[in-house]
Amino acid sequence: MASARLPVAVLASGSGSNLQALLDASARYDFGASIVAVISDRPGARALERAASAGVPTEIVDWADYADRISFTNAICDAATRSGAEVLVLAGFMRVLSPVAIERFPNQILNIHPGLLPAFPGERAVADALEFGVKLTGVTVHFVDEKVDHGPIIYQEVVRVHPGDTVRDLHTRIQEVEHRVYPEVLDALAHGRLRVEGRQVHWEHG
């Protein structure tokens, strides 16, 4: 008999291509996580359509409806808790959560970043890397802590910058990697294969 899957809420603000990769993975019989909710801060997000197409419940927590970051964050966490989620997966979620989220979901919030942290944190990571002239950039999956793009790193993979790359070219190749690795990391977390000791994350391959 299959063991229970880890219930997960995905937080997304935009196109949701990473969400789609996670939805596709969760359709596989042996995937360890189940996406029980998709929560967005943007009513028009394409991610919400992807969730609806997959039959996953959606919830909008509109930033404009909250007085401050703490009440917004609590509303996000409340929505996740109501759905039964034990883990939050940030997939192109463009709001910074208050530390109250880390108190409520300790070592249970994942983020994916289109760069090799700690280089080029923030929303313009791909453009910043190109402008700096790096030859190698990549993908980082990490646990979320109190600081932006800072928490313990779970996995990184290099993506080479090609001569003449535009931001779009480079981001497209980065996203191909993201779509492969994010489901792998979530599956590892769900199967209890990630052990966290301070900033060190050990991935025990089963």
Which chain residues interact with ligand GRF by CB under 6 A? 12, 14-18, 91-92, 112-114, 175, 178
Catalytic positions are 113
Nearer to ligand GRF, 157 or 191 (CB): 157
Which residue is it, tokens 């063991």? Answer: 3
> What is the distance between the terminal CA atoms of the chain, rounded to a whole angstrom?
19
Nearer to ligand GRF, 105 or 120 (CB): 120
CB 141 to ligand GRF: min, Å:
9
Nearer to ligand GRF, 46 or 104 (CB): 46
Give the closest residue to 86 by CA, choosing from 25, 147, 30, 10. Answer: 10
CB 148 to ligand GRF: min, Å:
11
CB 79 to ligand GRF: min, Å:
19
- In sequence order, which residues have a C-beta less than 8 Å from that of residue 3 and are 6 or more positions away? none
Pairing of strands 58-60, 136-143: unpaired
Strand segments, DSSP code E, in 51-167 are: 58-60, 87-90, 109-113, 136-143, 153-160
Nearer to ligand GRF, 24 or 204 (CB): 24
Which strands form 87-90's sheet, in the order they lie side by side?
Answer: 58-60, 33-40, 6-11, 87-90, 109-113, 136-143, 153-160
Q: Which residue is nearest to ligand GRF (CB)?
A: 92
Nearer to ligand GRF, 94 or 196 (CB): 94
DSSP 96: P
Sign of CA pseudo-dihedral 183, 186, 190, 194? positive
